[in-house]
Structure 1
Protein backbone atom coordinates (compact mmCIF):
# COMPACT_ATOMS: atom_id res chain seq x y z
CA UNK A 1 0.00 0.00 0.00
CA UNK A 2 1.46 3.41 -0.92
CA UNK A 3 1.76 6.41 1.44
CA UNK A 4 -1.25 8.17 0.04
CA UNK A 5 -3.59 5.18 0.37
CA UNK A 6 -2.26 4.50 3.90
CA UNK A 7 -3.10 8.06 4.88
CA UNK A 8 -6.53 7.69 3.33
CA UNK A 9 -7.17 4.61 5.48
CA UNK A 10 -5.63 6.14 8.64
CA UNK A 11 -7.71 9.33 8.57
CA UNK A 12 -11.19 7.73 8.76
CA UNK A 13 -9.90 5.18 11.28
CA UNK A 14 -8.62 7.97 13.52
CA UNK A 15 -11.97 9.76 13.23
CA UNK A 16 -13.84 6.53 14.01
CA UNK A 17 -11.73 5.87 17.11
CA UNK A 18 -12.15 9.46 18.31
CA UNK A 19 -15.93 9.27 17.92
CA UNK A 20 -16.04 5.86 19.64
CA UNK A 21 -14.03 7.01 22.67
CA UNK A 22 -16.19 10.13 23.05
CA UNK A 23 -19.36 8.05 22.71
CA UNK A 24 -18.46 5.48 25.37
CA UNK A 25 -17.07 8.20 27.67
CA UNK A 26 -20.54 9.72 27.82
CA UNK A 27 -22.13 6.47 29.04
CA UNK A 28 -21.52 6.69 32.80
CA UNK A 29 -22.33 10.43 33.09
CA UNK A 30 -25.58 9.92 31.15
CA UNK A 31 -26.56 7.02 33.43
CA UNK A 32 -25.83 9.15 36.50
CA UNK A 33 -27.79 12.07 35.01
CA UNK A 34 -30.90 10.10 34.02
CA UNK A 35 -33.68 10.22 36.63
CA UNK A 36 -34.68 6.59 36.11
CA UNK A 37 -33.78 3.23 37.70
CA UNK A 38 -30.55 1.79 36.34
CA UNK A 39 -32.16 -1.49 35.29
CA UNK A 40 -34.90 0.37 33.40
CA UNK A 41 -32.26 2.41 31.57
CA UNK A 42 -30.45 -0.83 30.71
CA UNK A 43 -33.69 -2.32 29.35
CA UNK A 44 -34.45 0.65 27.09
CA UNK A 45 -30.81 0.86 25.99
CA UNK A 46 -30.81 -2.74 24.75
CA UNK A 47 -34.39 -2.99 23.49
CA UNK A 48 -34.17 0.18 21.39
CA UNK A 49 -30.78 -0.89 19.99
CA UNK A 50 -32.23 -4.30 19.06
CA UNK A 51 -35.21 -2.54 17.47
CA UNK A 52 -32.90 -0.42 15.32
CA UNK A 53 -31.08 -3.57 14.13
CA UNK A 54 -34.27 -5.56 13.45
CA UNK A 55 -34.87 -4.36 9.84
CA UNK A 56 -31.37 -5.54 8.88
CA UNK A 57 -31.48 -8.76 10.94
CA UNK A 58 -34.84 -9.83 9.53
CA UNK A 59 -34.10 -8.42 6.08
CA UNK A 60 -30.68 -8.95 4.46
CA UNK A 61 -29.47 -11.11 7.38
CA UNK A 62 -32.59 -13.27 7.82
CA UNK A 63 -30.97 -16.41 6.36
CA UNK A 64 -28.03 -16.08 8.74
CA UNK A 65 -30.38 -15.46 11.67
CA UNK A 66 -32.38 -18.58 10.80
CA UNK A 67 -29.18 -20.63 10.60
CA UNK A 68 -27.93 -19.22 13.90
CA UNK A 69 -31.15 -20.04 15.74
CA UNK A 70 -30.81 -23.69 14.68
CA UNK A 71 -27.14 -24.07 15.60
CA UNK A 72 -24.66 -23.60 18.46
CA UNK A 73 -23.87 -20.03 17.40
CA UNK A 74 -27.36 -19.02 18.46
CA UNK A 75 -26.89 -20.70 21.85
CA UNK A 76 -23.62 -18.85 22.44
CA UNK A 77 -25.27 -15.57 21.37
CA UNK A 78 -28.03 -16.11 23.93
CA UNK A 79 -25.45 -16.94 26.62
CA UNK A 80 -23.59 -13.75 25.68
CA UNK A 81 -26.88 -11.88 26.12
CA UNK A 82 -27.18 -13.42 29.60
CA UNK A 83 -23.67 -12.25 30.48
CA UNK A 84 -24.43 -8.79 29.06
CA UNK A 85 -27.52 -8.67 31.28
CA UNK A 86 -25.34 -9.41 34.31
CA UNK A 87 -22.94 -6.65 33.20
CA UNK A 88 -25.64 -4.00 32.88
CA UNK A 89 -27.44 -5.18 36.05
CA UNK A 90 -24.27 -4.62 38.10
CA UNK A 91 -22.26 -1.83 36.49
CA UNK A 92 -25.11 0.59 35.72
CA UNK A 93 -26.41 0.64 39.33
CA UNK A 94 -22.82 1.18 40.49
CA UNK A 95 -22.70 4.43 38.53
CA UNK A 96 -25.81 5.73 40.28
CA UNK A 97 -24.76 4.52 43.73
CA UNK A 98 -21.19 5.79 43.67
CA UNK A 99 -18.74 7.91 41.71
CA UNK A 100 -18.73 8.01 37.91
CA UNK A 101 -14.93 8.04 37.88
CA UNK A 102 -14.49 5.06 40.21
CA UNK A 103 -17.20 2.98 38.52
CA UNK A 104 -15.70 3.64 35.08
CA UNK A 105 -12.17 2.83 36.24
CA UNK A 106 -13.20 -0.40 37.98
CA UNK A 107 -15.21 -1.65 34.99
CA UNK A 108 -12.11 -0.94 32.87
CA UNK A 109 -10.49 -3.95 34.59
CA UNK A 110 -12.37 -6.13 32.10
CA UNK A 111 -9.19 -7.09 30.14
CA UNK A 112 -7.60 -8.31 33.39
CA UNK A 113 -10.56 -10.61 34.09
CA UNK A 114 -10.32 -11.66 30.44
CA UNK A 115 -6.73 -12.69 31.03
CA UNK A 116 -7.65 -14.72 34.10
CA UNK A 117 -10.38 -16.51 32.13
CA UNK A 118 -7.80 -17.30 29.43
CA UNK A 119 -5.42 -18.60 32.12
CA UNK A 120 -8.16 -20.90 33.44
CA UNK A 121 -8.52 -22.20 29.87
CA UNK A 122 -4.81 -23.00 29.71
CA UNK A 123 -3.67 -19.81 27.93
CA UNK A 124 -1.46 -18.33 30.65
CA UNK A 125 -0.69 -14.58 30.58
CA UNK A 126 2.88 -13.39 29.99
CA UNK A 127 5.09 -12.07 32.79
CA UNK A 128 4.13 -8.53 31.82
CA UNK A 129 0.50 -9.66 31.81
CA UNK A 130 0.76 -10.90 35.41
CA UNK A 131 2.49 -7.65 36.37
CA UNK A 132 -0.38 -5.70 34.87
CA UNK A 133 -2.89 -7.85 36.76
CA UNK A 134 -1.03 -7.17 40.01
CA UNK A 135 -0.96 -3.41 39.42
CA UNK A 136 -4.64 -3.32 38.45
CA UNK A 137 -5.69 -5.33 41.51
CA UNK A 138 -3.58 -3.10 43.77
CA UNK A 139 -5.13 0.00 42.22
CA UNK A 140 -8.65 -1.39 42.63
CA UNK A 141 -7.91 -2.26 46.26
CA UNK A 142 -6.57 1.26 46.86
CA UNK A 143 -9.65 2.94 45.34
CA UNK A 144 -12.05 0.57 47.12
CA UNK A 145 -10.20 1.07 50.42
CA UNK A 146 -10.70 4.81 50.14
CA UNK A 147 -14.43 4.28 49.56
CA UNK A 148 -14.54 2.00 52.62
CA UNK A 149 -13.97 5.08 54.72
CA UNK A 150 -16.71 7.00 52.91
CA UNK A 151 -19.84 4.81 53.14
CA UNK A 152 -21.13 1.27 52.73
CA UNK A 153 -23.01 2.46 49.62
CA UNK A 154 -19.73 3.53 47.99
CA UNK A 155 -18.22 0.11 48.72
CA UNK A 156 -21.31 -1.61 47.27
CA UNK A 157 -20.90 0.53 44.15
CA UNK A 158 -17.26 -0.60 43.85
CA UNK A 159 -18.17 -4.29 44.22
CA UNK A 160 -20.94 -3.96 41.62
CA UNK A 161 -18.52 -2.26 39.18
CA UNK A 162 -16.00 -5.08 39.58
CA UNK A 163 -18.73 -7.68 39.05
CA UNK A 164 -19.77 -5.70 35.97
CA UNK A 165 -16.22 -5.95 34.63
CA UNK A 166 -16.17 -9.72 35.24
CA UNK A 167 -19.52 -10.12 33.48
CA UNK A 168 -18.23 -8.03 30.57
CA UNK A 169 -15.21 -10.34 30.29
CA UNK A 170 -17.47 -13.40 30.12
CA UNK A 171 -19.63 -11.60 27.55
CA UNK A 172 -16.57 -10.84 25.41
CA UNK A 173 -15.25 -14.41 25.69
CA UNK A 174 -18.59 -15.79 24.51
CA UNK A 175 -18.74 -13.17 21.77
CA UNK A 176 -15.28 -14.12 20.55
CA UNK A 177 -16.48 -17.71 20.18
CA UNK A 178 -19.65 -16.66 18.36
CA UNK A 179 -18.20 -14.00 16.05
CA UNK A 180 -16.22 -16.71 14.24
CA UNK A 181 -19.53 -17.85 12.74
CA UNK A 182 -21.85 -14.82 12.75
CA UNK A 183 -21.74 -11.28 11.42
CA UNK A 184 -21.70 -8.35 13.83
CA UNK A 185 -25.32 -7.43 13.07
CA UNK A 186 -26.74 -10.93 13.61
CA UNK A 187 -24.73 -11.52 16.77
CA UNK A 188 -25.54 -8.16 18.37
CA UNK A 189 -29.23 -8.41 17.43
CA UNK A 190 -29.61 -11.78 19.17
CA UNK A 191 -27.45 -10.67 22.10
CA UNK A 192 -29.17 -7.30 22.65
CA UNK A 193 -32.59 -8.89 22.16
CA UNK A 194 -31.87 -11.57 24.75
CA UNK A 195 -30.55 -8.97 27.16
CA UNK A 196 -33.66 -6.79 26.66
CA UNK A 197 -36.05 -9.70 27.32
CA UNK A 198 -34.19 -10.72 30.48
CA UNK A 199 -34.05 -7.14 31.77
CA UNK A 200 -37.75 -6.71 31.05
CA UNK A 201 -38.50 -9.78 33.16
CA UNK A 202 -36.33 -8.47 36.01
CA UNK A 203 -37.96 -5.02 35.89
CA UNK A 204 -41.48 -6.51 35.90
CA UNK A 205 -40.62 -8.96 38.70
CA UNK A 206 -39.31 -6.20 40.96
CA UNK A 207 -41.92 -3.61 40.02
CA UNK A 208 -39.42 -1.22 38.41
CA UNK A 209 -41.13 1.59 36.50
CA UNK A 210 -40.33 1.57 32.79
CA UNK A 211 -42.22 4.76 31.90
CA UNK A 212 -43.24 8.09 33.39
CA UNK A 213 -39.82 9.75 33.07
CA UNK A 214 -39.25 13.42 32.33
CA UNK A 215 -38.08 14.71 28.96
CA UNK A 216 -34.45 15.04 30.07
CA UNK A 217 -34.31 11.39 31.14
CA UNK A 218 -35.74 10.14 27.84
CA UNK A 219 -33.19 12.32 26.03
CA UNK A 220 -30.40 10.75 28.09
CA UNK A 221 -31.67 7.23 27.31
CA UNK A 222 -31.82 7.98 23.58
CA UNK A 223 -28.32 9.46 23.76
CA UNK A 224 -27.11 6.21 25.36
CA UNK A 225 -28.69 4.16 22.58
CA UNK A 226 -27.26 6.27 19.77
CA UNK A 227 -23.92 6.94 21.47
CA UNK A 228 -22.48 4.15 23.63
CA UNK A 229 -24.73 1.32 22.46
CA UNK A 230 -24.68 1.80 18.67
CA UNK A 231 -22.24 4.49 17.59
CA UNK A 232 -19.43 3.70 20.05
CA UNK A 233 -19.42 -0.06 19.53
CA UNK A 234 -19.91 0.27 15.78
CA UNK A 235 -16.96 2.64 15.39
CA UNK A 236 -14.71 0.33 17.41
CA UNK A 237 -15.79 -2.59 15.21
CA UNK A 238 -15.03 -0.52 12.09
CA UNK A 239 -11.59 0.42 13.43
CA UNK A 240 -10.74 -3.24 14.05
CA UNK A 241 -10.70 -3.72 10.28
CA UNK A 242 -7.78 -1.28 9.98
CA UNK A 243 -5.88 -1.42 13.29
CA UNK A 244 -4.99 -3.94 15.98
CA UNK A 245 -7.24 -5.09 18.82
CA UNK A 246 -4.49 -4.01 21.22
CA UNK A 247 -4.62 -0.44 19.95
CA UNK A 248 -8.39 -0.39 20.36
CA UNK A 249 -8.19 -1.90 23.86
CA UNK A 250 -5.68 0.72 25.01
CA UNK A 251 -7.74 3.54 23.51
CA UNK A 252 -10.85 2.30 25.34
CA UNK A 253 -8.99 3.16 28.56
CA UNK A 254 -9.39 6.81 27.54
CA UNK A 255 -13.01 6.33 28.61
CA UNK A 256 -11.82 6.73 32.22
CA UNK A 257 -10.46 10.31 31.94
CA UNK A 258 -13.19 11.13 29.41
CA UNK A 259 -15.95 10.10 31.83
CA UNK A 260 -14.13 11.87 34.67
CA UNK A 261 -14.04 15.14 32.71
CA UNK A 262 -17.72 14.91 31.74
CA UNK A 263 -18.73 14.04 35.31
CA UNK A 264 -16.81 17.08 36.61
CA UNK A 265 -17.90 19.50 33.90
CA UNK A 266 -21.53 18.39 33.58
CA UNK A 267 -22.49 16.81 36.92
CA UNK A 268 -20.09 18.61 39.26
CA UNK A 269 -18.58 15.33 40.52
CA UNK A 270 -15.03 16.04 41.67
CA UNK A 271 -12.96 12.85 42.17
CA UNK A 272 -11.73 12.31 45.74
CA UNK A 273 -8.03 13.16 45.89
CA UNK A 274 -7.30 10.08 48.05
CA UNK A 275 -8.63 7.72 45.36
CA UNK A 276 -6.76 9.25 42.40
CA UNK A 277 -3.43 7.36 42.92
CA UNK A 278 -5.35 4.07 43.08
CA UNK A 279 -7.30 4.87 39.92
CA UNK A 280 -4.10 5.84 38.08
CA UNK A 281 -2.46 2.60 39.24
CA UNK A 282 -5.50 0.61 38.13
CA UNK A 283 -5.58 2.09 34.62
CA UNK A 284 -1.79 1.73 34.30
CA UNK A 285 -2.05 -1.94 35.28
CA UNK A 286 -4.68 -2.61 32.64
CA UNK A 287 -2.53 -0.86 30.01
CA UNK A 288 0.55 -2.90 31.03
CA UNK A 289 -1.51 -6.09 30.85
CA UNK A 290 -2.88 -5.34 27.36
CA UNK A 291 0.49 -4.30 25.93
CA UNK A 292 2.27 -7.19 27.64
CA UNK A 293 -0.14 -9.71 26.21
CA UNK A 294 0.25 -8.22 22.72
CA UNK A 295 4.06 -8.45 22.92
CA UNK A 296 3.81 -12.03 24.21
CA UNK A 297 1.67 -13.05 21.22
CA UNK A 298 4.16 -11.47 18.77
CA UNK A 299 7.06 -13.37 20.39
CA UNK A 300 5.11 -16.66 20.28
CA UNK A 301 4.57 -16.16 16.53
Structure 2
Protein backbone atom coordinates (compact mmCIF):
# COMPACT_ATOMS: atom_id res chain seq x y z
CA UNK A 1 0.00 0.00 0.00
CA UNK A 2 1.21 3.49 -0.71
CA UNK A 3 1.89 5.97 2.05
CA UNK A 4 -0.35 9.05 2.32
CA UNK A 5 2.85 11.08 2.03
CA UNK A 6 4.02 9.53 -1.26
CA UNK A 7 4.13 12.03 -4.12
CA UNK A 8 2.03 10.64 -7.01
CA UNK A 9 3.67 10.33 -10.47
CA UNK A 10 2.94 13.05 -13.08
CA UNK A 11 0.28 10.99 -14.92
CA UNK A 12 -1.58 10.45 -11.66
CA UNK A 13 -1.34 14.13 -10.76
CA UNK A 14 -2.86 14.97 -14.16
CA UNK A 15 -5.66 12.44 -13.58
CA UNK A 16 -6.37 13.94 -10.15
CA UNK A 17 -6.43 17.46 -11.62
CA UNK A 18 -8.96 16.35 -14.26
CA UNK A 19 -11.06 14.59 -11.61
CA UNK A 20 -11.16 17.60 -9.29
CA UNK A 21 -12.11 19.92 -12.15
CA UNK A 22 -14.81 17.48 -13.26
CA UNK A 23 -16.47 17.18 -9.84
CA UNK A 24 -16.04 20.91 -9.16
CA UNK A 25 -18.18 21.70 -12.21
CA UNK A 26 -21.13 19.67 -10.93
CA UNK A 27 -22.73 22.17 -8.52
CA UNK A 28 -22.37 25.22 -10.82
CA UNK A 29 -23.85 23.21 -13.71
CA UNK A 30 -26.79 22.14 -11.53
CA UNK A 31 -27.40 25.76 -10.53
CA UNK A 32 -27.11 26.84 -14.16
CA UNK A 33 -29.47 24.22 -15.59
CA UNK A 34 -32.98 25.60 -16.23
CA UNK A 35 -34.58 22.35 -15.08
CA UNK A 36 -35.91 21.00 -11.76
CA UNK A 37 -33.13 19.55 -9.62
CA UNK A 38 -34.88 16.18 -9.33
CA UNK A 39 -35.16 15.96 -13.12
CA UNK A 40 -31.45 16.72 -13.48
CA UNK A 41 -30.72 14.03 -10.87
CA UNK A 42 -32.81 11.52 -12.84
CA UNK A 43 -31.07 12.23 -16.14
CA UNK A 44 -27.68 12.21 -14.45
CA UNK A 45 -28.16 8.66 -13.18
CA UNK A 46 -30.22 7.24 -16.06
CA UNK A 47 -27.75 8.36 -18.74
CA UNK A 48 -24.83 7.04 -16.67
CA UNK A 49 -26.67 3.71 -16.42
CA UNK A 50 -27.16 3.65 -20.20
CA UNK A 51 -23.38 3.96 -20.57
CA UNK A 52 -22.40 1.46 -17.85
CA UNK A 53 -25.08 -1.26 -18.09
CA UNK A 54 -24.05 -2.61 -21.54
CA UNK A 55 -20.45 -2.85 -20.34
CA UNK A 56 -21.57 -4.79 -17.27
CA UNK A 57 -23.82 -7.10 -19.29
CA UNK A 58 -20.98 -7.96 -21.66
CA UNK A 59 -18.00 -8.15 -19.31
CA UNK A 60 -19.68 -9.19 -16.03
CA UNK A 61 -22.41 -11.55 -17.22
CA UNK A 62 -21.55 -14.34 -14.76
CA UNK A 63 -21.36 -11.93 -11.85
CA UNK A 64 -24.75 -10.41 -12.70
CA UNK A 65 -26.34 -13.88 -12.85
CA UNK A 66 -24.90 -14.60 -9.40
CA UNK A 67 -26.48 -11.38 -8.11
CA UNK A 68 -29.92 -12.14 -9.57
CA UNK A 69 -30.33 -15.82 -8.67
CA UNK A 70 -27.03 -17.03 -7.28
CA UNK A 71 -24.74 -16.85 -4.25
CA UNK A 72 -24.37 -13.06 -4.39
CA UNK A 73 -28.00 -12.08 -3.90
CA UNK A 74 -27.10 -10.54 -0.54
CA UNK A 75 -24.62 -8.20 -2.23
CA UNK A 76 -27.32 -7.45 -4.81
CA UNK A 77 -29.61 -6.34 -2.00
CA UNK A 78 -26.92 -3.98 -0.73
CA UNK A 79 -26.63 -2.56 -4.28
CA UNK A 80 -30.37 -1.82 -4.27
CA UNK A 81 -30.23 -0.22 -0.83
CA UNK A 82 -27.20 1.83 -1.88
CA UNK A 83 -29.21 3.01 -4.89
CA UNK A 84 -32.00 4.10 -2.54
CA UNK A 85 -29.54 6.04 -0.38
CA UNK A 86 -28.00 7.61 -3.49
CA UNK A 87 -31.46 8.71 -4.64
CA UNK A 88 -32.03 10.40 -1.27
CA UNK A 89 -28.61 12.05 -1.60
CA UNK A 90 -29.36 13.52 -5.01
CA UNK A 91 -32.94 14.43 -4.05
CA UNK A 92 -31.66 16.57 -1.18
CA UNK A 93 -28.28 17.95 -2.20
CA UNK A 94 -29.09 18.91 -5.79
CA UNK A 95 -32.12 21.06 -4.81
CA UNK A 96 -29.95 22.69 -2.13
CA UNK A 97 -27.59 23.92 -4.87
CA UNK A 98 -30.45 25.60 -6.74
CA UNK A 99 -32.10 27.02 -3.61
CA UNK A 100 -29.01 28.38 -1.87
CA UNK A 101 -25.34 29.14 -2.40
CA UNK A 102 -23.15 26.80 -4.44
CA UNK A 103 -20.23 27.37 -2.04
CA UNK A 104 -22.22 26.57 1.11
CA UNK A 105 -24.08 23.60 -0.36
CA UNK A 106 -20.85 22.05 -1.65
CA UNK A 107 -19.08 22.58 1.68
CA UNK A 108 -21.93 21.13 3.74
CA UNK A 109 -22.23 18.01 1.59
CA UNK A 110 -18.46 17.57 2.01
CA UNK A 111 -19.15 16.67 5.67
CA UNK A 112 -19.85 13.11 4.47
CA UNK A 113 -16.71 11.69 6.20
CA UNK A 114 -17.98 13.15 9.48
CA UNK A 115 -21.25 11.24 9.24
CA UNK A 116 -19.28 8.21 8.06
CA UNK A 117 -17.33 8.36 11.31
CA UNK A 118 -20.52 8.56 13.36
CA UNK A 119 -21.97 5.56 11.49
CA UNK A 120 -18.79 3.63 12.26
CA UNK A 121 -19.12 4.64 15.94
CA UNK A 122 -22.72 3.34 15.99
CA UNK A 123 -21.39 0.04 14.59
CA UNK A 124 -18.89 -0.22 17.42
CA UNK A 125 -15.86 1.12 15.50
CA UNK A 126 -15.31 4.30 17.45
CA UNK A 127 -13.33 7.15 15.84
CA UNK A 128 -9.93 8.05 17.24
CA UNK A 129 -9.34 11.14 19.36
CA UNK A 130 -8.32 13.02 16.22
CA UNK A 131 -11.52 11.82 14.56
CA UNK A 132 -13.69 13.20 17.38
CA UNK A 133 -11.79 16.50 17.27
CA UNK A 134 -12.37 16.69 13.51
CA UNK A 135 -16.06 15.92 13.95
CA UNK A 136 -16.33 18.72 16.51
CA UNK A 137 -14.58 21.21 14.22
CA UNK A 138 -16.72 20.26 11.24
CA UNK A 139 -19.97 20.52 13.20
CA UNK A 140 -18.91 23.90 14.58
CA UNK A 141 -18.04 25.12 11.08
CA UNK A 142 -21.36 23.88 9.68
CA UNK A 143 -23.23 25.60 12.51
CA UNK A 144 -21.32 28.83 11.80
CA UNK A 145 -22.10 28.76 8.08
CA UNK A 146 -25.74 27.84 8.64
CA UNK A 147 -26.09 30.48 11.34
CA UNK A 148 -24.98 33.12 8.85
CA UNK A 149 -27.76 32.00 6.51
CA UNK A 150 -30.35 32.60 9.23
CA UNK A 151 -29.79 36.28 8.57
CA UNK A 152 -30.19 35.83 4.82
CA UNK A 153 -33.51 34.00 4.30
CA UNK A 154 -35.52 30.97 5.35
CA UNK A 155 -34.85 29.49 1.91
CA UNK A 156 -31.09 29.68 2.49
CA UNK A 157 -31.45 27.83 5.80
CA UNK A 158 -33.68 25.20 4.15
CA UNK A 159 -31.00 24.75 1.47
CA UNK A 160 -28.40 24.20 4.21
CA UNK A 161 -30.57 21.55 5.87
CA UNK A 162 -31.04 19.78 2.54
CA UNK A 163 -27.27 19.81 1.94
CA UNK A 164 -26.62 18.25 5.36
CA UNK A 165 -29.26 15.59 4.70
CA UNK A 166 -27.52 14.97 1.39
CA UNK A 167 -24.22 14.44 3.22
CA UNK A 168 -25.83 11.96 5.63
CA UNK A 169 -27.42 10.06 2.74
CA UNK A 170 -24.05 9.97 0.97
CA UNK A 171 -22.46 8.44 4.09
CA UNK A 172 -25.18 5.76 4.22
CA UNK A 173 -24.68 5.15 0.49
CA UNK A 174 -20.95 4.66 1.06
CA UNK A 175 -21.50 2.30 4.01
CA UNK A 176 -23.89 0.15 1.98
CA UNK A 177 -21.58 0.30 -1.03
CA UNK A 178 -18.71 -1.04 1.06
CA UNK A 179 -20.84 -4.09 1.90
CA UNK A 180 -21.78 -4.62 -1.74
CA UNK A 181 -18.21 -4.16 -2.98
CA UNK A 182 -16.84 -6.99 -0.82
CA UNK A 183 -17.29 -9.35 -3.77
CA UNK A 184 -18.71 -7.28 -6.65
CA UNK A 185 -16.83 -5.36 -9.32
CA UNK A 186 -17.13 -1.60 -9.68
CA UNK A 187 -18.92 -1.97 -13.03
CA UNK A 188 -21.61 -4.30 -11.68
CA UNK A 189 -22.09 -2.33 -8.50
CA UNK A 190 -22.38 1.08 -10.16
CA UNK A 191 -24.68 -0.22 -12.90
CA UNK A 192 -27.17 -1.66 -10.39
CA UNK A 193 -26.81 1.26 -7.99
CA UNK A 194 -27.21 4.02 -10.60
CA UNK A 195 -30.05 2.12 -12.29
CA UNK A 196 -31.93 1.74 -9.00
CA UNK A 197 -31.38 5.40 -8.21
CA UNK A 198 -32.68 6.43 -11.66
CA UNK A 199 -35.84 4.31 -11.32
CA UNK A 200 -36.63 5.75 -7.88
CA UNK A 201 -36.03 9.32 -9.04
CA UNK A 202 -38.22 8.68 -12.09
CA UNK A 203 -41.04 7.52 -9.81
CA UNK A 204 -40.68 10.66 -7.66
CA UNK A 205 -40.66 12.92 -10.72
CA UNK A 206 -43.75 11.26 -12.21
CA UNK A 207 -45.61 11.35 -8.88
CA UNK A 208 -44.71 15.01 -8.40
CA UNK A 209 -45.60 16.02 -11.93
CA UNK A 210 -42.04 17.18 -12.65
CA UNK A 211 -41.30 17.78 -16.33
CA UNK A 212 -38.50 15.60 -17.64
CA UNK A 213 -38.36 17.09 -21.12
CA UNK A 214 -38.91 20.37 -22.93
CA UNK A 215 -35.67 22.01 -21.83
CA UNK A 216 -33.61 24.37 -23.94
CA UNK A 217 -30.32 23.43 -25.55
CA UNK A 218 -28.20 25.00 -22.81
CA UNK A 219 -29.91 22.93 -20.13
CA UNK A 220 -29.43 19.68 -22.04
CA UNK A 221 -25.78 20.62 -22.56
CA UNK A 222 -25.42 21.19 -18.81
CA UNK A 223 -27.00 17.81 -18.02
CA UNK A 224 -24.73 16.01 -20.48
CA UNK A 225 -21.72 17.84 -19.02
CA UNK A 226 -22.67 16.64 -15.52
CA UNK A 227 -22.98 13.05 -16.74
CA UNK A 228 -19.71 13.10 -18.69
CA UNK A 229 -17.85 15.12 -16.04
CA UNK A 230 -18.77 14.46 -12.42
CA UNK A 231 -20.70 11.21 -12.91
CA UNK A 232 -18.33 9.33 -15.24
CA UNK A 233 -15.01 11.12 -15.82
CA UNK A 234 -14.50 12.37 -12.25
CA UNK A 235 -15.11 9.00 -10.61
CA UNK A 236 -13.09 7.18 -13.28
CA UNK A 237 -10.03 9.38 -12.77
CA UNK A 238 -10.21 8.99 -8.98
CA UNK A 239 -10.45 5.20 -9.37
CA UNK A 240 -7.45 5.26 -11.73
CA UNK A 241 -5.46 7.33 -9.24
CA UNK A 242 -6.16 4.79 -6.47
CA UNK A 243 -3.70 2.44 -8.14
CA UNK A 244 -0.90 4.99 -7.75
CA UNK A 245 -1.60 6.94 -4.55
CA UNK A 246 -3.35 6.54 -1.22
CA UNK A 247 -7.06 6.81 -0.53
CA UNK A 248 -6.28 9.42 2.13
CA UNK A 249 -4.59 11.66 -0.44
CA UNK A 250 -7.56 11.32 -2.77
CA UNK A 251 -10.09 11.96 0.02
CA UNK A 252 -8.35 15.21 0.94
CA UNK A 253 -7.99 16.27 -2.71
CA UNK A 254 -11.72 15.72 -3.27
CA UNK A 255 -12.28 18.57 -0.80
CA UNK A 256 -10.79 20.88 -3.44
CA UNK A 257 -14.23 20.57 -5.03
CA UNK A 258 -15.45 23.09 -2.45
CA UNK A 259 -13.23 26.07 -3.43
CA UNK A 260 -13.31 24.90 -7.06
CA UNK A 261 -17.12 24.97 -7.20
CA UNK A 262 -17.21 28.30 -5.35
CA UNK A 263 -14.72 29.83 -7.82
CA UNK A 264 -16.67 28.58 -10.85
CA UNK A 265 -19.94 29.86 -9.36
CA UNK A 266 -18.30 33.24 -8.74
CA UNK A 267 -16.80 33.60 -12.22
CA UNK A 268 -19.65 32.01 -14.18
CA UNK A 269 -22.86 32.55 -12.18
CA UNK A 270 -21.76 35.72 -10.37
CA UNK A 271 -22.42 34.09 -6.99
CA UNK A 272 -20.12 36.03 -4.68
CA UNK A 273 -19.46 34.01 -1.48
CA UNK A 274 -20.70 35.70 1.70
CA UNK A 275 -17.60 36.84 3.59
CA UNK A 276 -19.26 36.18 6.95
CA UNK A 277 -19.66 32.48 6.08
CA UNK A 278 -16.07 31.89 4.93
CA UNK A 279 -14.56 31.30 8.43
CA UNK A 280 -17.23 28.70 9.13
CA UNK A 281 -16.64 26.95 5.81
CA UNK A 282 -12.88 26.95 6.43
CA UNK A 283 -13.41 25.46 9.91
CA UNK A 284 -15.72 22.85 8.40
CA UNK A 285 -13.13 21.79 5.82
CA UNK A 286 -10.39 21.67 8.46
CA UNK A 287 -12.55 19.35 10.54
CA UNK A 288 -13.20 17.04 7.59
CA UNK A 289 -9.46 16.86 6.84
CA UNK A 290 -8.75 15.95 10.48
CA UNK A 291 -11.43 13.23 10.32
CA UNK A 292 -9.99 11.75 7.10
CA UNK A 293 -6.37 11.78 8.26
CA UNK A 294 -7.34 10.50 11.72
CA UNK A 295 -9.30 7.62 10.18
CA UNK A 296 -6.38 6.70 7.91
CA UNK A 297 -3.95 6.60 10.83
CA UNK A 298 -6.40 4.66 12.96
CA UNK A 299 -6.83 1.97 10.27
CA UNK A 300 -3.09 1.60 9.68
CA UNK A 301 -1.95 -1.89 10.80
CA UNK A 302 0.68 -2.05 13.53
CA UNK A 303 3.66 -4.35 12.95
CA UNK A 304 6.58 -4.86 15.27
CA UNK A 305 9.10 -5.92 12.62
CA UNK A 306 8.83 -2.91 10.31
CA UNK A 307 6.75 0.22 9.81
CA UNK A 308 3.87 -0.10 7.36
CA UNK A 309 1.06 1.90 5.90
CA UNK A 310 -2.44 1.02 4.72
CA UNK A 311 -5.21 2.75 2.87
CA UNK A 312 -8.89 2.10 2.39
CA UNK A 313 -10.77 2.29 -0.87
CA UNK A 314 -13.29 5.12 -1.17
CA UNK A 315 -16.68 4.59 -2.80
CA UNK A 316 -16.84 4.69 -6.60
> TM (normalized to structure 2)?
0.91
1:120 corresponding residue in structure 2: 122
- Of 260, 263, 266, the residue aligned with 1:261 is 263
User: What are the Cα deviations for residues 23-67 of structure 1, in whole angstroms up to 9, with x where unaligned?
Assistant: 000000000000000000000000000000122111111211111
Q: Which residue matches 2:300?
A: 298
Structure 2 CA distance, aligned partners of 1:178 and 1:241? 20
2:68 aligns with 69
State the Cα distance separating 1:254 from its structure 2 match. 0.3
Q: 1 CA distance for matches of 2:217 and 2:18?
A: 25
1:297 Cα deviation after fit: 2.2
Secondary structure of 1:207 counterpart: coil
Question: Does 2:93 match 1:94?
Answer: no
Indicate the residue corresponding to 1:184 in structure 2. 186
Matched residue, 1:237: 239
Q: What pairs up with 1:1-301 in 2 under 5 angstroms?
A: 10-70=9-69, 71-298=73-300
The list of structure 1 runs, each at least 4 consecutive aligned residues, that deviate by more than 4 angstroms after superposition, is none
For residues 64 and 121 of structure 1, the distance between their equivalents in structure 2, rounded to whole angstroms, comes to: 29
Q: Deviations over 1:179-211 (max 9, x none)?
A: 111111100000000000000000000000000
1:298: Cα distance to partner? 2.5
CA distance in 1, matches of 2:36, 2:68: 32
More helix by share: 1
CA-to-partner distance for each residue in 1:84-124, whole Å, 9 max, x for gaps? 00000000000000000000000000000000000000100
Partner Cα distance (1:69, 1:39) in 2: 29
Distance 1:35 1:68 in 2: 38
The 1-side partners of 2:247 and 2:127 are apart by 16
How many Å separate the matches in 1 of 2:295 and 2:45?
A: 31
RMSD: 1.3
Q: Is the 8 A contact 1:69 1:75 kept in 2?
A: no
Unpaired segments of 5 or more residues in structure 1?
1-5
Distance in 2 between the 1:104 and 1:130 partners?
22
1:299 deviation in Å? 6.4
